[in-house]
Structure 1
Amino acid sequence: MRFLIVSLFIIANVSNNGKASLESFLPSNDSILLSDTTKSSNKSCNRPCKFNVKPRQCRYDFEIKPTFGEDDRPALTINGQTPGPPIHVCLHDIIVVKVKNKIPNQDITMHWHGIEQKGTPYMDGVPMVTQCPISYGSVYEYAFAASSPGTFFYHADSVLHHSDGVYGALIVDQPQPLEPHAALYDYDRSDEHTLIVGTRFPELLTARLEDPSYIPPDSIIINRNEDYSKIFVIPGYGYRLRLINAIALECPLVIQAYRHVATVIATDGKPVQPVTTAAVKIYPGERMDVVIRADQESGGYWIRVSGEGLCEGLNTYAMLLYSGFNYTSMLLDGPNTDTESKLEDKETITGQELQSARDVPSVNNVKSIYLKIDRPHLKVKDDDIDFRYLSDAVPKKPFFPAALSLRDDVVQINGKNFLYPNAPYLLKPREVRPETICVVGEEKNNKQPQCILVLNAKLNEAVELVLANEGHRSNETYTFHMHGYGMQVVKTWENPGNTPLSKEEFHKMERDGLITRNIKNPPVKDTVMVPNKGLTIVRFTPTVGGSWLLECRSCSFSLPVAIIINVPLSIPKLVIDSLPSCGSYRPADVLLN
């Protein structure tokens, strides 16, 4: 109870200037603040969002543990199910989630993907950065404001826990008149029309931490249906669908409704200028809202979800069913792939090709930073590394090998892999060992292959990141997720000659005027793809303090690829003292990542 009170205290009192109150999260029009006029006795947070109604406190209890499904396949579940229970709230509600870890001998944290955590950076869910991990048998209570509307999701911060089944949908609605594209559809049934897509593996990945060999997924699933998810529609009406790629691997998804076109209206929770397309491509962690109109002959139609990258060859389907249609024959016959249209690349829209619904304000004096992303050739032995972890998480083993010693083709940023701090970087920065920190641009001052890679930024100072996938030893795309902020995607470029890129070549192209930027109406996203032998340029302005991770979740099962974007913030001692301590050990990278 004390922790919840403290959490709500901070939500109400801490922001980037330390003076904001809960009202700073609410609309500025005083006429809609008033009192709760809801007459119904149903106090569920999953409700139509209205004006003149106070925000609610929405409480959820999550128990995470290993479970065997009906097919005897193991998974990590939330309250016995995967995906976990959907969180569906209204704008400005306070979300409170009590997480109990019942995974034997392993720690866990939960990340709320796309939630900006305004005023609550210590609720972001990054182990040893914003909080201590939740140890086996322990309970951690998250509390934060749903400060912006849109399609989000939650997942375990660990890629392995996430892949084993710890994820679920998180939808934040707002009153319909505030929706910028409400005129394009008739129904927004988020409970029925949210498709969250994940993968399944033949065994638990968290049960084989010491084996670095890659195990590919063997299937893609939509929601928690073993057969087919069903979307029921009425002829002649338009429906808003929310699409979530909840896969932690580098698995882009191409989604197409047979004989129907989709109008894209939002990406990563942010509205865009509507674009109609035959299919959409969604990268890991991305979300996309589309409108599909039931304008075909009454019947049943397949929605195909096709995997690419590490999910190449895997497909799954949902059913778009017009009211009154008997779909028994569809279930018996299954998808007819011979009749499905063949797509060309130009018919598929990605989130980074879109334009924001509103022009963004121009920014002067942008600080530009080049981040080199590549797979260098490494030969690292445990004896060469002086930051070995002693872990209570692996019983009967006094030592867990450093992840760098397990393979030699790891992805790195500016020649470094991320090292989890010895103390939570956000909460207790003075306790973090200074010799483990390396500042972006000064990496050569730290000789270790792993370090706490930190980019120091200032409040309200515009930053441009050139994410350069140089591609000297790989032919892969990488997907990056930004915690805390939305990013303006001003440029995505792939070398037409399919040759590796370098920092010198990039600056030459800049001087020659070959790298143009969309600074008028770039899409605002929290998850972006960086193409092979190419680059993605993003801009953001830190408006709230915190220690925010920019991470490539899909780059590695075991070794983190990330940087901390550190923006000055003073957190009251009352809050820090109320949060659980980390204990006397630090888990190995493979347990945290």
Structure 2
Amino acid sequence: MKLFVFCFFVIANISNNGKASLESFAPSSDTNFLTDTTHKSDKSCHRPCKFNVKPRRCYYNFEVEPSIHDDGPALTINGFSPGPALHACVHDIIIVQVKNKIPDQDLAIHWHGLEQRGTPYMDGVPMITQCPINYGSTFKYAFKVSSPGTFFYHAYSVTHQSDGVYGSLIVDQPQPLEPHSSLYDYDRSQEHTLIIGARFPELLSASLNVINDIPPSSLVINGDVKGTKIFVMQSYGYRLRLINAIGLECPILVSINDHLMTVVASDGKPVQPVTTAAVKLYPGERMDVVVRADQTSGGYWLMAKGESACDNLKARSMFIYSGFNYTSMLEEVPSNELNYDSSSVITGQKLLSNKDVNIANKIKSFYLGIDKNAIKVKDEDLDYRYTSDAVPKKPTYPSVLSLTDSVVQINGKNFLFPNAPLLLKPRDVFNHIVCDVGAEEKHYDVQCLQTLKTTNEEVELILVNEGFNSNDSYTFHMHGYGMHVVASWQSPAGLPLSRKEFEKLDRDGLIVRNLQNPPIKDTIAVPNKGFTIVRINPDYGGTWLLECRSCSLTLPVAILISTPISLPKAVVDTLPSCGSYKPADVLLH
């Protein structure tokens, strides 16, 4: 009988693995990766995380399509915006099958903040890590969540994200491993995650007006303008997870009437606790805060106030003590004034890492000058073809430049998406479109594939928002790697900052770098007429974007950080092939 059972087990496993699939390939030596240890019939992965328990596979199906809501049209995931809240324990495997039902448009889903160690082909950047998901097609994402924290997912396209394709992703770990668990009594991530989005008067992805910005009409928290409720018991402390899921340049101020917040994590990484009355989150940024219900029993307003592109927009949630009848708050009109001192607002870059780090004092630096530039072109210079179809005989310009006065650039260039997925088919990418970061002047076109090649050595990136032609601040997101934010500064006199002036400040020792306990972040703000300096340790391979998603809907603003990696042929062959697909560059952003 034992022999029969053993043979049956072997045959079953051979049958199950007879057809090659992405789930068959482990990206690391972890033998538990993609091993189905789910015992519950509902495949739920939202549960208390425990020690010495094998990871689970967490299955989700996404259907992304246009829908009509009470307040107008939206792009939804399974009929909802935000989409499903994903919960997992560290080392679980998340498997999401995405079907694109947006007519005549391509799609990709980015898992914001996840490192994708061993699975760089799951980062969700079209023509860099994958082929776009065409209308009517399906793509399966499968990756291990290797670190705990507050993350979220969104469509890679800013217009799709703005139209509603986003949702929360929370990765928990056993409670004893949480460094600040003594500060709170409850971490109810399913009820106390607040994901802040923006609504627009029309679908951006359906608008023909791709040049002039269409301002958002309202802010929403968990898809609602004013109805989200947070229930608490008096004298207890609660961990709230705040997510700014807005694709445009919309910093958000968050405060709770008569309550203080203690920040315990930023972008999924623990920080030294800081208590404040208000926090500011830039687009894509997350903060975990602890709030103690230490006031008179009742109902209080949590307020979210927008800045920049979301100026004068507000959303609110109810912070309700147990036993309080909150019906009176439904008709209450809260004060538009937020009760905090603006000088006390905490931002992620002001925080300190919870642990000291070992960062070298002198390493190789790369200057990234950011500014909005006017590009003068003649009608005969404009290129109405697919940018990567052929080697141009003279400098050519994307046709979108005929419709705009100026564009944001890095080192005088805009990013060009390659003609083939760079990570999967590097030999198919045209060499003439590539330019090295720091040597962009050698490339004669407005756009090029700006690439910084690394060899597993720590590098410093100096992002200077020069501010000669703009008064805007910009938010950048780093895919794949965490960034140590070692310095940030803004001119108190409001004067533009050139490369020559920055280098003089640095030579004179006037730029102080925090090399002991800088915060580790994947989303940073670069203030106008100022700079932000980060250190990156590219200790695992992949092709990763450092991008300003909110800088432009037309000409991308980014660089690519490429670290050597050899992908198994079986993985590359399993992933979808783009074939002869050559999207217009403007459609990818």
Q: How does 1:577-588 map to 2 (within 5 A)?
A: 577-588=573-584
Letter in 2 for 1:422: N
Q: How does 1:134-283 map to 2 (within 5 A)?
A: 134-209=133-208, 211-283=210-282
**Residue 525 of structure 2 is aligned to residue 529 of structure 1:** yes
**Counterpart of 1:330 in 2: which secondary structure?**
helix
Q: 1:75-94 CA deviation, whole Å, 9 max, x = no partner? A: 11000010101111110000
- What residue in structure 2 maps to residue 505 of structure 1? 501
Correspondence for 1:21: 30
Question: Matches of residues 8-87 of structure 1 in structure 2 within 5 Å?
Answer: 8-13=23-28, 20-22=29-31, 43-71=43-71, 73-87=72-86
Structure-2 residue corresponding to 1:30: none
Distance 1:572 1:312, change over 3 A: same
Cα distance in structure 1, aligned partners of 2:445 and 2:508: 36
In 2: Cα distance, 1:107 partner to 1:381 partner: 31
- Show the counterpart of 1:303: 302
Matches within 5 A, 1:85-484: 85-209=84-208, 211-337=210-336, 340-341=338-339, 343-363=340-360, 365-380=362-377, 383-386=380-383, 388-389=385-386, 402-459=399-456, 461-484=457-480
Q: How does 1:534-553 map to 2 (within 5 A)?
A: 534-553=530-549
Cα root mean square deviation, aligned: 2.2
Q: Cα gap change, 1:508/1:563 in structure 2, threshold over 3 Å: closer, same or farther?
A: same
Could you tell me which runs of 5 or more consecutive residues in structure 2 were left unpaired when the two chains were aligned. Answer: 1-15, 389-396
Q: Structure 1 residues 212 and 41 mapped into 2: Cα distance closer, same or farther (>3 Å)? A: closer
Q: 1:39 deviation in Å?
A: 8.5
Residues 149-193 of structure 1 deviation map (CA, whole Å, 9 limit, x = unaligned): 000000000111111110000000001011000000000000110
Q: TM-score, normalization: structure 2?
A: 0.92
Find the aligned partners of 2:41 and 2:566 in 1 and give their Cα distance.
41
Deviations 1:258-302 (A, max 9, x none): 000000000000000000001000000000000000000000000
Distance 1:236 1:137 in 2: 52
1:245, 1:275 → 2: CA distance?
20
> Following the alignment from structure 2 to structure 1, what is the Cα–Cα distance between the partners of residues 504 and 387?
47
- Deviation of residue 480 (structure 1)? 0.2
Q: Secondary structure at the match of 1:197?
A: strand
1:486 match: 482
Residue 2 of structure 1 and its aligned partner are, at CA, apart by 8.1
- Note the C-alpha offset of 1:5: 5.6
CA spacing shift, 1:567–1:236, aligned 2, 3 Å = same
Q: Distance in 2 between matches of 1:316 and 1:404?
A: 36
Q: Do the aligned residues in 1 keep the contact of 2:20 with 2:574 (CA within 8 Å)?
A: no
Whether the 8 Å contact between 2:22 and 2:574 is mirrored in structure 1 is no
Query: Residues 425, 405 of structure 1: CA spacing in aligned structure 2 closer, same or farther, 3 A cutoff?
Result: farther
1:214 is displaced (CA, Å) by: 1.4
> Offset of 1:540 from its aligned partner?
1.0
Give distance in 2, aligned partners of 1:4 and 1:329.
Answer: 60
Query: How much has 1:4 moved relative to structure 2?
Result: 9.7
Distance in 2 between residues matched to 1:531 and 1:573, nearest whole Å: 43
Aligned match of 2:5:
none
Question: How much does 1:562 deviate?
Answer: 0.5
For 1:192, what is the secondary structure of its paired residue?
coil
Task: Name the SS for the 1:276 alignment partner.
Answer: strand
Partner of 1:590: 586
Distance 1:383 1:83 in 2: 45
Residue 7 (structure 1) aligned with residue 41 (structure 2): no
Aligned length: 566
Separation in structure 2 between the aligned mates of residue 226 and residue 347 of structure 1, nearest angstrom: 26
Instruction: Say which SS state the counterpart of residue 501 (structure 2) adopts.
Output: helix
Is the Cα–Cα contact under 8 Å of residues 390 and 586 in structure 1 kept in the other structure?
Answer: no
Matched residues in 2 for 1:135 and 1:221: separation?
29
Report whether the alignment pairs 1:568 with 2:564: yes
* CA spacing shift, 1:156–1:451, aligned 2, 3 Å: same
The CA deviation at 1:333 is 1.6
> Residue 394 of structure 1 aligns with which residue?
none
Cα–Cα, structure 1 residues 5 and 170, in superposed 2: closer, same or farther, change >3 Å?
farther
Retained in 2: the 8 A contact 1:380–1:408? no
Deviation at 1:40, TM superposition (A): 6.8
SS of the equivalent of 2:550 reads helix
Partner letter of residue 299 of structure 2?
G
Q: Output the CA distance in 1 between the equivalents of 2:131 and 2:39.
A: 42
Which one is further off, 444-453 or 402-411? 402-411
Match of 1:554 in 2: 550
Q: What is the one-letter code of the residue matched to 2:556? A: P
Q: Write the letter of the residue equivalent to 1:510.
A: D
* SS in structure 2 of the partner of residue 125 of structure 1: coil
By how many angstroms is 1:574 displaced?
1.3
SS at match of 1:44: coil
Between the aligned residues of both structures, percent identity stands at 62
SS of aligned partner of 2:373? coil
Give, in whole Å, the separation in 2 of the partners of 1:4 and 1:324.
Answer: 56
1:188-232, CA deviations, whole angstroms, 9 ceiling, x for partnerless residues? 000110000000000001112454221100000000224321000
Aligned partners of 2:17, 2:111: CA distance in 1, in Å?
A: 22
Deviations, residues 65-112 of structure 1 (Å, cap 9, x unaligned): 0111023x1111000010101111110000000000000000010000
Partner of 1:517: 513
Q: Deviations over 1:561-591 (max 9, x none)?
A: 0011011111112111111111323222332
| Residues 1:381 and 1:109: Cα distance change in structure 2 (over 3 Å) | farther
CA distance in 2: counterparts of 1:590 and 1:175, whole angstroms: 44
Structure 1 stretch 207-216 or stretch 168-177: which is displaced more?
207-216
Q: Quick one: distance in 2 between partners of 1:2 and 1:159?
A: 38
User: Which amino acid in 1 is paired with 2:550?
Assistant: S
Deviation at 1:359, TM superposition (A): 0.1
**Structure 1 CA distance for aligned equivalents of residues 378 and 289 of structure 2:** 49
Q: 1:323 to 1:45 in 2, by over 3 A?
A: same
Offset of 1:552 from its aligned partner?
0.2
Q: CA 1:535–1:321 in structure 2 vs 1: closer, same or farther (change >3 Å)?
A: same
Structure-2 separation of matches of 1:166 and 1:381: 38
CA 1:389–1:4: 2 relative to 1, 3 Å: farther
